[in-house]
Amino acid sequence: MGDLHIARRERLGGLVADQGADAALVTRLVNVRYLTGLDSSNAALLVRPDGTAVLCTDGRYAGMAAAVCPELECVVDRAVALTLTARAVKDGAGRLAFEAHDVTVELHVKLAAEAPGPGLVPLGRAVEELRKIKDEAEIALLREACAITDRAFDAVLPRLRPGVTEREIATALERTMVDLGAEKPAFESIVASGPNGAFPHHHTGDRVIAAGDLVTMDFGALYDGYHADMTRTVAVGTLADWQRDVYDLVQRAQQAGLDAVRPGADTKAIDAAARNVIVDAGHGDDFPHGLGHGVGLEIHEAPLMGYDRTGKLEGRVPVTVEPGVYLGGRGGVRIEDTLVVRPGGPELLTQTSKELLVV
Ligand code: ZN
Ligand code: ZN
């Protein structure tokens, strides 16, 4: 991936030049990983307008850095941000752009002492913006993360029956994903049964699943740094009319959302396409979250798709579409896919069936 990382640093360098800064100090670890390939708990990167860069990490990761990004100059020091700020000043940088959404007030005081005068200027979320549109190598990793997620669902579904607990299903999904090649779960799996399904982000617990429950499973695999995200709701034992009605409603809303996904579409309009289906059925108040979010090196990243978020979708942007309806005391339904925006319509990465299953 060396060439990819070089190209990413050159794109960032262009943005740094546009901002009139002399260099950018990248401190968010996920952004350092995106720009170098180095996955560590302590590293920072100094990027100049021409795309050349200096990496700083501590002794635990120096060997890994040499292996992963041998093309980069690497300074070994524990105080990564301070070391690179001193380096920028020494190289003659007057304006150093920094990630204000990451640097703490405490660190900012130290950096400002190192780079006085006009010194530190905000970079904004420039690297997050670059990360939004994925290259095909990244999409291939996401595709594999989602395929593992699909296979784990198929493997664990036979275990879903009255008498099993939410936690047993969550653990089985997570263990199966790792057995199938995932690094680990992409996030804490949600298994919400019966009335617990009314909480969109229920904390999986020891509730025993019973006949007549709807069970919502929201989970995904992490594969080589990339996060899959899928939700399916399944009925156990029997199916009441209201459960079928709510399922049909959410399924229609999800399809309307998928149909609205295309390059150039406004994220607010995509949210509205799905949300209007639910509002028209009189359940607008029962859908209290946004329609979806970007996925990649983070489980939630740009772009966010909500009723209060504007912005245009572009090709090669992976997003989720995940409407839900939650009825207090009774239960809920959510259906979520991870997909990639493509000119001819979205490429679904999670491919598990959305037909209503009664197990
Ligand atoms: Zn999810
Ligand atoms: Zn999601």
Backbone φ and ψ for 202, nearest 5 degrees, come out as -55, 140
- Name the closest ligand to CA 321: 2
Could you tell me which residue, 307 or 104, shows the higher pLDDT? 104
| pLDDT tens digits, one per residue of 201-242 | 999 999 999 999 999 999 999 999 999 999 999 999 999 999
- Closest ligand to residue 187's CA: 1
- At residue 345 the predicted structure's pLDDT band, cuts being 50, 70 and 90, is very high
Buried b (16+ CB within 10 A) or exposed e, 87-116: bbbeeebebbbbbeebbeeebeeebeebbe
pLDDT, tens digit (0-9, with 9 covering 90-100), for 135-158: 999 999 999 999 999 999 999 999
What is the mean predicted confidence (pLDDT) over 76-94?
96
For 259-287, what is the mean pLDDT? Answer: 97
Q: Calculate what percentage of the chain has a pLDDT beyond 70.
A: 100
User: Tell me, what's the pLDDT at 310?
Assistant: 77
User: Which positions ≥6 away from 75 have C-beta within 8 Å?
Assistant: 54, 55, 56, 83, 84, 87
| Residue 229 alpha carbon to ligand 2 centre in Å | 5
271 Cα–ligand 2 center, Å: 14
CA 186 / ligand 2 centre spacing (Å): 11
Rounded to the nearest whole angstrom, what is the distance from the C-alpha of residue 3 to the centroid of ligand 1? 32
- Segment 77-104 shows an average pLDDT of 96
CA of 337 to the centre of ligand 1 (A): 8
pTM of the predicted model, to two decimals?
0.95
Residue 181 has pLDDT above 80, yes or no: yes
- Determine the distance separating the centroid of ligand 2 and the alpha carbon of 294, expressed in angstroms: 8
Could you tell me which of 47, 39, 62 has the C-alpha nearest to residue 17? 47
Report pLDDT for 1: 57
Judged by its nearest atom, the ligand closest to the C-alpha of residue 293 is 2
State residue 175's pLDDT score: 98
Alpha helices in the chain (DSSP H): 2-18, 29-36, 62-68, 80-90, 105-114, 126-132, 136-156, 166-179, 241-260, 267-280
pLDDT of 289 reads 95
Judged by its nearest atom, the ligand closest to the C-alpha of residue 300 is 2
Which tokens belong to 105?
Answer: 């007030």
The pLDDT score that the predictor gives to residue 306 is 86
pLDDT of residue 230: 98
**What does the pLDDT look like over 98-122, one tens digit per residue?**
999 999 999 999 999 998 877 999 9
Q: How far is the CA of 120 from the centre of ligand 1 (A)?
A: 37
Average pLDDT over residues 322-338: 97
13: amino acid identity, one letter = G
**Integer Cα distance of 230 and 185 in angstroms:** 12
pLDDT in the model for residue 122: 94
Distance CA 350, CA 141 (A): 13
User: Which residues are CB-contacts of 256 (< 8 A; sequence separation ≥ 6)?
Assistant: 273, 274, 276, 277
Residue 308 scores a pLDDT above 90: no
CB 173 within 8 A of CB 302: no
**Which burial class, exposed, middle or buried, applies to 207 when counting CB atoms under 10 A from its CB (0-12, 13-18, 19+)?**
middle
